[in-house]
Amino acid sequence: MISSLCITIFEESINNYHITDNVDNPVRNPYPKDKLEHLLYLKNWIDTVQWHLEDLIRNPAINAVEALAIKRRIDSSNQERTDVVEYIDSHFLEKYKNITPLKEASINTESPAWAIDRLSILALKIYHMQAEANRTDASQDHIAACRQKLTILVEQRNDLSQAIDELLRDIEQGKKYMKVYRQMKMYNDPSLNPVLYQQQTSGAHEA
């Protein structure tokens, strides 16, 4: 099942990151670039680094210059994350390109890769909630609350895993079909972000 493969690789990525727990460490992807495993590992590594960047930027003592630099990194990370999700969807589009959908086939509310994206985030939530539940310096109320949340997160992961496997099985059997809309991020595009294109227009007039 694809969900089991995803979970295994996501956990591997998260554990490898936390060997040093440093947002500046480069990804050392152990999988060949032409394999789905490579994309899954890269996807989760991006999510893991961004998770910790989000932690850093919420430090009340952070200075404005550092906060802005981290915000820029998060923006770039979001774009990279979207790109990798689309590469994963391209893998499934290629894999199922010769499947003829049944007459009554329907489209799913989200593509397989965007569901896998949520599974990656859930892996991170479970890892960090487990860490909170294992703390020895926290109150018993905190630990109990985290254990309860952890139970819910694991249940959510099980449900999502089942849904992903069923979706791919339905696509393979022609019961559902894929239709991917490439994400059109507007804030990074100088022609679509008003703040950016107005600056360009202003600069042209000044010139």
Give the pLDDT of residue 181: 76
User: 21-36, pLDDT tens digit by residue?
Assistant: 999 999 999 999 999 9
Sorted by where each begins, the domain ranges of the chain are: 2-187
Global pTM reads 0.88
Taking the mean position of all CA atoms in its chain, how far away is CA 90? 16
* pLDDT per residue as tens digits for the range 94-126: 999 999 999 999 999 899 999 999 999 999 999
Q: Report the pLDDT value the prediction gives residue 179, as an integer from 0 to 100.
A: 85
| SS3 call for 107 | strand
Name residues of the chain where pLDDT drops below 50.
none
Report the C-alpha gap between 4 and 116 in whole angstroms: 11
pLDDT of residue 174: 97
* CA-based torsion, 83, 170, 95, 98: positive or negative: negative
